[in-house]
Structure formats: C-alpha cells, structure tokens
A and B are shown apart, each in its own frame.
Chain A
Amino acid sequence: MSMVAEKESTASNDAAGTPILSVRDLVVEFPRPNNTPFRAVNGVSFELRQGETLGIVGESGSGKTMIALSILGIVPLPGRIIEGSITLLGKRIDNLSLAELQKVRGNDVGIVFQDPMTGLNPVRNVGSQLKESVRRHQHVSAAEATEIAFHALDDVGIPAARDRLKAYPHELSGGLRQRVMIALALINHPDLIVADEPTTALDSTIQAQILDLLRARLDKSTIIMITHDLGVAAEICDRISVMYAGRMVETGSIADVLSGPRHPYTEGLLAAVPKFDVRRPTLVPIPGQPPTADDAITGCSFAPRCTHAQSKCNERPELELIDGRPVSCWFPRPGAAG
C-alpha cells in the first residue's frame, strides 16, 4: 500500500503540549414539544493530541454519535449545541459560519460513518463522489482530481482502483464500500479522523480487514474511534472514554480501563463481553435499561442499574481524578487491585 501525498503535519501544534482537538463542556440538546429538552450529550470534555487514537465507548443512545456529528457541525435538526466549545488546531469551530464550517468538513476533519450500504450516493459513481470532495477543498484540475481519487482508492487497498472509479456503489461489496468511505474521509488529508462505528455493519472477517486498514493509519493520524465494541476499542485505541447517558463516566489509557475499571458501568460492560482466554462461567449482563429521555434523573444516571448504589448516588457525581484518571462515581471500584 503506497502512502501517496501523506500530508505532513504543517500545523503549529505538533508540539506535544497543544491538542489537535479540544472539546469543552459540550451539551447537545433536542427540544421536545411540551416537554423538557432531551440532552443527548450532557457536558462532555476531552482532548486529543497529535497521533492519538481515542475510543469513545458506550451503548446505543449514549450520545457518542452526537459527539461526532457535533465536531462536524451536522447535528440533525432540531438538535443543536447549546453549550460548550470545540477547538480544532487552536481555532473554535463550533461557532463558525456555515461557509467556514464547510471548509472544515471533509478537509480538516474526515468522518467514516457506520453504514457503507447507504452512505454513498447510489446514482453517482464512486470516482465522481471522491472528486467532488477533492475539488471542493483543493484547487486542482479535473484530471488531477481523478489522479488523487485513484490514489485514495489505491491507498485503502481497493484492487483495480482505476476501474473502480467508474463503479457505482451497488457494484461493490460492503467491505469495498467501507473502504471507499474511508478513502473519502482521508482524501483531503484531514488533521482529525472521526470513525463512527466503522466496522459495526460489516462481517467479522471484513471487520478485521477494516481495522487493519485503520491501524495502518494510526501512527500518522489523529482518530476518534466511536464504537460500542470494547474489543474494537482495545485493538486500536490509545485511550478510551466510556459514555453513559450523554456523559463520560470514565476515561483512561486502554490498559488501565480494561484491566482496572473504576466506574461500575465500565466494570459491567467488561463483564458482558465474551472472552475466550478467560475461564468464566457466564456473561454477566447489566440489569435494566439505559435511561430514556423521559426519565428525570437528578443524581448519577447509572445509579438505577448500579448494584453498588447508595443514597449518596442521588446527587450527581462530578468527574474526579482517581489514580490520575477521571471517573465520575461516588464509590469507584477498586480497579486492578481488587
């Protein structure tokens, strides 16, 4: 796989100190008629440094996709960001005008969506969709754009890439389509790649191939990997954040979180993952359901399902550093020691 024209990090923030992306106190709200608004994301903060891969893990509806869409400013209506800031390369991007935001989308930030079956326009060939994005963000001729599109497909391991430019999405298998989606996300060499469940809709063998492809990119790229699959996160992430009901309940290096979860929810998630190398009689599901929009919870969102909840849990726990990593729990689990 040739890495053609891999963009050098020209940004001024390759110094270890400055983050590529910084999200502060992000709140995304969906107004509901005759009701209190639903907070899909409720005060989330995190940072990403150059070359880092952050996994955001959580159940469906925990708000992880909304974080991805917020970064690109494409939260579906009537939802909107009502609080917080998103800073990319030292520049606020959450309050940009639409025209400025369109220069960020696909150029500074590339995104890979979950479903490659519906993510590409069925009546336009692959090449035209790639070239459209190239010519929007780069000043190149049509012929140059074709070359760039060819190399983009070649780079993500699509065989006979030259011919595939003329292929329509329905002529490609799911795995190839997801490779096209990745090529589309990477084609303008974004500083940040957001992968929203990129392997969820694929067969497990294809999943492995796509993960390999992403892993090959890791050293060069800064990636947010959104997944509900702890196994996927474990394979390619440096750090993970666990989300529950719109909040991050625990963040840490992948090794720390997996081997010594401090939040009871993380612990529950791990207990619910099948493992083949550990003898364990049964999987332990987390009892109950995540809160819905109608559940008014003033305290810890997880308390109704938590086996360790006490009366103190009726107050909301803030993120506090426990062994150097942020956890929001009044009674954190003992971690690896326990």
Chain B
Amino acid sequence: MTDVVKGSENETAPVEQPGTQTPSISQGDVETVPVLTNLSRTLGKRFFELLVLLFAISTLLFFLLRLTGDPAAVLAGETGDEEQLELIRKQYGLDKPLIVQYGVFLSKVAVLDFGKSLANAQDAMGLVWERLPTSFTLVLIAFSANLIVSIPLGAWLGSRPDRRTRKAGSAFIFVAQGIPGYITGLILIQIFAVELRWLPSIGNQGPASWIMPAITLASFQAPHVIRVISANVSEAMREDFIRTARANGAGFHTLLWKHALKNAMMGATALIGIQVAFLLSGSIITEVIFAWPGLGRLLVVSVQTLDFPVVQAAVFMIAIFVYTAITLTDIVFLFIDPRLRRQRA
C-alpha cells in the first residue's frame, strides 16, 4: 500500500525548488534517492569540477606569466643584466621549449610545488600555508559575527515590516549597505585606536586586535544578508502555513522562529554561501588596512614585488577555498531543504 501511494505522490507532488539552489542533477531518472547517495553524488561531482577548475587556473597562471613578456626579465626585475637573465633562465628552466615548461609546471603544481619565493627564497606554498591560519581566524570570526547579528536582526526587521522601528532599521541597513568596507575600517581605527586607544589597529596581537578587522570584514557582508533574511521572513510570515500555525494557537515567537525563519534561511543560504566563498579574497582590503599578516596581504605584497611563485600559490589556494565553500553550501542545502533530500536525481 505504502509503495503504491508513494508512487502516485511522486507524480503529483510539485518539485518546486527555489531558483537559487543548484545541486539538482537532472538526468531524467525517476527513482528517488536517499540523502547519502545524493550527498556522495554531489561531492563526487564537485570534486571532479574542482580538478578541472584547478587545471584551468594553473594553465592560466602559467601563460599569464609568459604573456607579460620575457618571464626572466620579470623575475630579474629592473636591475637584471644579461648575465643574470641567463642564470634565471637556466634556474627556472625557461630555456626549454614552452610545452616542456608547461608540462614541468603542471607536474609541480600537482604536488603543490610552486617553487621558491623570489623575495626571500622560502618555499612559496610554505609561505601561503603559514599565512592561512591567520586569515582563517579573521574569516571565521567575521563569518560568525555576520550570522550572529544578521539572522536575528533580519528576522526582527522582517517580522513586522510595517512598524516604525523596523522601517527605521531597514533604512539604516540600506544606507549601511552602501558604505565601502575600507571607510568602516578607517572610521573604526579613528574612533577606537586613535581617539579612545582601546584597540590595537595593526597586526595580529591577540583577541583584542581581531575585533576591528572582523567587524570591518563582516560589515561588507552583513547588510546584504540582513536585507535578504528580512525580505524572506516578511514574505514567509504571509504564507498560508503561518495562518495554519496561528489558527492552532502558535504565538508570535513560534511563528517567527520556528516557522518563518527556517523558510527564510533557504533563500539566504545561497547568498551566505557565496559570501563565504569570497570572504578570503574579500579580506584583502581589510588585511591591508589593519596590516593583518594574512593571505590577502601576502598576495598584495607579492603582486607589488612581482613575486610570481607566491602569487600563483596564493591564487591556487583561494580557488580551492572558494570551491570548498560552494560545495559546503550545497551540502547545507541538502540538510535544510527536505525537498532536495529525496529528489529525482
């Protein structure tokens, strides 16, 4: 009986999915798949895509260096004479045919070997690894701060959007959305480091020095999240299922937190996932403002000094991070949206 009914349900049940969700694999197969199969399929697909992406990025990095002219001249800098150039060509294998160079480069990239930094002869990938935890600290704190503030605030603003306080709040968020992060950072430094002298403004000197960079980084992103959650919550609060819950005696807080917010988060998760993906690259400005010894600042300095091996290693690492974040978002979707758990795959 169960199976028969189930079969007919799959005919009639609407397979509506919010347009923001990506991980559906439509291959016309009609059977439903349980969450674990779905999960492994998603992961497998993403991993394959990541490999393709990394190959493309490596190729791009390789040829970009060659496009700028004679790489030996770039590597030698302005002061290099012909003798030095010969030396560099030999050292980096630049005297070999391009296709051979490309093959050597790829085989080294495969084992994450980007060569040595031109600035201090340290292993380029090693430098990146060294900076990664510092950047992650900042990214993680900023991300948590963003969610801790954005979810309740968005829900509050969206729950009764017609109230005067909510209107004022929404207007403020709208303005805040337009303030560039570096302005926020500079204002924070002026107030808390220069005037009040409460917080250090430079480098990583323990928890107190995390506050301003994290707020700056979060302030890039929080207004967008707040606005999306607020809009989604106010829409969800008008849905029929809210009326059903209210008709069964649910109070305002049950309606908001247990019924509306979960629906609202489905749309917001897509945005949050994309934001996480770009947190690491977005932290570049913040790291420069606060002289934060992270990956972003390493990248900026390396670009300025034409330290190509380090630039290549850093870009490679950021690409992996972005893709991991996007994959995690897909997995989060599998868990928060029941409609994706057992779908036609």
Contact = CB atoms under 8 A, between A and B. Distances in A.
B9 A121 contact: no
Q: Sort chain B's interface into a size bin.
A: 20 to 34
A121 B248 contact: no
A163 interface: yes
A119 B339 CA distance: 16
Given A107-B249, A123-B337, A184 B262 contact: no
B241 A168 contact: no
Interface in A230-285: none
A217 B167 CA distance: 48
B111 interface: no
B1 A160 contact: yes
Q: Sort chain A's interface into a size bin.
A: 35 or more
A105 interface: yes
Interface string A104-128: 1111001101010111111111000
Contacts of B6: 171
A331 B336 CA distance: 62
A276 B214 CA distance: 74
Interface stretch (B64-72, B217-225, B251-259, B309-317): B251-259
B240 interface: yes
A74 B1 CA distance: 39
A173 B338 contact: no
Interface in A150-192: 159-160, 163, 168, 170-174, 176, 181, 184
A45 interface: no
B1 A106 contact: no
Given A160-B2, A171-B9, A123 B338 contact: yes
Contacts, number: 100
B241 A120 contact: yes
A119 B239 CA distance: 8
B258 A159 contact: no
A105 B249 contact: yes
Given A168-B339, A173-B13, A121 B5 contact: no
A125 B251 contact: no
B248 A125 contact: no
B8 A173 contact: yes
Interface in B1-33: 1-2, 5-6, 8-9, 12-16
A119 B338 contact: no
A132 interface: yes
A181 B13 contact: no
B101 interface: no
B246 A125 contact: no
Contact of B244 (A107, A160, A176, A181): A181
A106 B247 contact: yes
Given A102-B249, A136-B249, A168 B244 contact: no
B251 to A, nearest CB: 6
Contacts of B166: none
22 contacts: A72-B247, A103-B249, A104-B249, A113-B240, A113-B243, A120-B244, A121-B259, A122-B338, A123-B262, A124-B259, A132-B254, A133-B249, A133-B250, A159-B2, A160-B1, A168-B338, A168-B339, A170-B13, A170-B338, A171-B13, A173-B12, A184-B248
Given A132-B254, A132-B258, 7 more contacts: A102-B251, A124-B259, A124-B262, A132-B245, A160-B2, A176-B5, A176-B9
Interface of A: 72, 74, 98, 102-107, 110-111, 113, 115, 117-125, 129, 132-133, 136-137, 159-160, 163, 168, 170-174, 176, 181, 184
